Amino acid sequence: MPISQRENDLAKAIEAAAEYRDRLHNLDLRNKDHLQFYQQQLLRFLVGNEARYKYAYDDKDPKKRPIKKGVKVEGNITIGIGFNMSRGEAKEEWNRALREQYCLRMLWMAKSPLPTNRYKHFLIVV
């Protein structure tokens, strides 16, 4: 019984996904080229599957509204594509990624937006 084009396409997609999974699984992240490939693939995945936010928001807020002064934060303060600003090392990573071009505190308090061309910096550096 012949298989349909849809079944054939699905089988090819599953095979490609398995090869991709195996390639990522076999990376040695101590190897600079492997690490760069991994970071590129992570960026590709996150940009394709995660929302982007230019203002800091509470990740427990289902509406992802910008944090305003006086509002209690219940989750993590997050910006961009899931950059957790609440972590202790966030400021160091922020400065390493953007070289202090944008004030973390101003973004944290939703006083200024994160420029859209800066989202990927955290994914590449962190």
Q: Which residues share a beta bridge with 66? A: 57
pLDDT tens, residue order, the chain (126 aa): 577 888 888 888 888 888 888 888 888 989 999 888 888 887 777 777 677 787 888 889 999 888 887 888 899 888 877 778 888 887 787 777 666 555 555 555 555 566 655 555 554 433
Phi, psi of 79 (to 5 degrees): -150, 160
Answering whether pTM is above 0.85, one says no
For residues 94 and 104, give the distance between their C-alpha atoms in angstroms, rounded to a whole number.
Answer: 7
Domain edges within the chain: 5-47, 50-125
